[in-house]
Amino acid sequence: MNLPETRITDFIKEHHVLTLATSDLNESWCSNCFYTYLKDENAFLFTSDIDTKHALMGVKNPRVSGSVVLETKIVNKIRGIQFTGELVKVDNTEHSRYRLKYLMKFPYAILINTDLWIIKLDLIKMTDNRLRFGKKLIWKRTSNEN
């Protein structure tokens, strides 16, 4: 698998909240979700009830986008990613590998019964001003990957 460079994956692993943007016809919506990053699949894993606005839109139109950012007012420390991908509902039974991975990062999630979702990433654009003002790092899924 064609994985993003380490600077991108390290940044993703340092954080735990993403902003998810969904759309359906002429309507769009943003939501914030706790996530764990599945490096071997280059995907975000998060929970959300199926009846939320963003989940309902994502079922109708699985093409999603979003971001993960570092909040700072110091210009030379600005870092963040923007991404696009495909939203997929995954198995959340007691022994599913996805459930276990999510609970490893967020053990208190065992208290809620919700749905698990993956965003299979196909584009990541990272801005990292520590490298140079406005420096962009780009990763794209190759055409022969699913």
20: nearest Cα among 92, 118, 114: 118
18: nearest Cα among 146, 133, 139, 121: 121
Q: What's 119's domain CATH number?
A: 2.30.110.10
Q: Which two tokens stand for residue 74?
A: 């110091």
Instruction: Quote the pTM value.
Output: 0.91
Residues 58, 55: Cα–Cα separation, whole Å: 5
Number of domains in the chain: 1
pLDDT by residue (tens digit) across 52-86?
Answer: 999 999 999 999 999 999 988 888 888 999 999 99
pLDDT by residue (tens digit) across 77-102?
Answer: 889 999 999 999 998 777 789 999 99
Residues 128, 77: Cα–Cα separation, whole Å: 7
How many other C-beta atoms are found inside a 10 Å radius of the C-beta of residue 86?
Answer: 16
Give me the residue label for tokens 């990062």. Answer: 105
Domain containing 117: what range? 6-139
